[in-house]
Amino acid sequence: MNFSNDDYQQQLNAKHNQTLAEFAEFGVAEVEVFPSPQQQYRMRAEFKAWHSAEGLSYAMFEPGSRKAYDVETFVSGSAAIQTLMPRLRDCLNANQVLRNKLFQIEFLTSTSGESLVTLIYHKPLNDSWQAEAELAAQQLQTHIIGRSRGQKRVLSQDYIYECFNVAGRDFRYQQLEGSFTQPNGYVCRDMLEWAAQNSRDFGGDLLELYCGNGNFTLPLSRNFNKVLATEVAKPSIHSALHNCELNQIDNITFVRMSAEDICGALNQVRTYERLKNIALQDYNFSTVFVDPPRSGMDETTTEFVSRFDNIIYISCNPLTLKDNLQIPHKTHRVERMALFDQFPYTEHRECGVVLRRR
């Protein structure tokens, strides 16, 4: 792979031009581009634990095949990942208890250098394993979690903290092992800033679907009177509530509900026990924020979202974004569009769109 600046800029220009061409039918004539650092940008990574006569090493598989490639260095990984990889490998090779039947190694790090390592096994983890893992964690100055089928051993904690400065304020986030977090911390910060800046004059209240751990919710809350944010994953909701308290924000209500269910509740199609203490009628929603999975939104949710005056849509899949824009484009205009290069040197594109009612 060529990591030269010229090569990266050519790839980024190609993504920009492709995005302009694909979204021209929605009146998009300009796309703001947020580049990534060319190295040390990935805060998360996972590797196959490859066992051979020479010892344990890291490996990755070629997409769509079972061909494994030895990974000696991982320049895309954060500085913390690159520092940990050789030290952890040497530690594992020197310890039969930790190395035996290990099949996967996962890293979770922050832009400040905090780290957590998950070791995944094809064997039950006993007290002997834990004693050795605790020594390794102390030696490596990292948090370690052990996993096997139906088992999770947390030695100290199963999360790290990340901090992003958005619109002049620092926001701290608990990032839980096994839960979704944005992989490129530097581009994530740009995404948060972009969403906050482009909604600062909207006013009213905000509805957010697919809120995760409150990644966007926290900085966006400064632009609105009240926020109702929903997420279906229980661990993410727990982190979101913790993050809200951690940042001393008191105008957000988090609810564990799917996008489809909250749409049904707000459409008064049915009632839900989880909403019994929330006065939905007291909200004056001006804006909806969505960051759905790669599959995008279903037609019912897309039609519901189109009822709002302002729509902010973050997408990890331009194809589903383009499909989801067909309905709101009938009543809204695209005011802003951005390309966030979460994964440089790949075809992946992350996009952001701001729509306002005509």
Compute the distance between CA of residue 173 and CA of residue 119 in angstroms, rounded to an integer: 23
- Owner of token pair 């792979």: 1
Compute the distance between CA of residue 244 and CA of residue 174 in angstroms, rounded to an integer: 10
Q: Is 316 a catalytic residue?
A: yes
For residue 316, the SS3 value is coil
Compute the distance between CA of residue 202 and CA of residue 194 in angstroms, rounded to an integer: 14
In the structure encoding, which two tokens stand for residue 54, read together? 């020479």
Q: Is 335 a catalytic residue?
A: no
- What residue type is 284 in one-letter code? N
Residue 300 has, within 13 A of its CA and on its CB side, a CA count of 11
In the structure encoding, which two tokens stand for residue 46, read together? 């996972």
Contact 178, 235 (CB under 8 A): yes
Helix axes 79-93, 127-140, angle to 10 degrees: 130
Helices (H), 94-143: 96-99, 127-140
225: DSSP letter: S
Q: Choosing from 162, 177, 208, 350, which is the catalytic residue?
A: 350
Q: Choosing from 188, 244, 316, 351, which is the catalytic residue?
A: 316
Phi-psi domain of 298 (left: phi exceeds 0; alpha: psi -120 through 50; beta: other): beta
Give me the active site residues, please: 316, 350
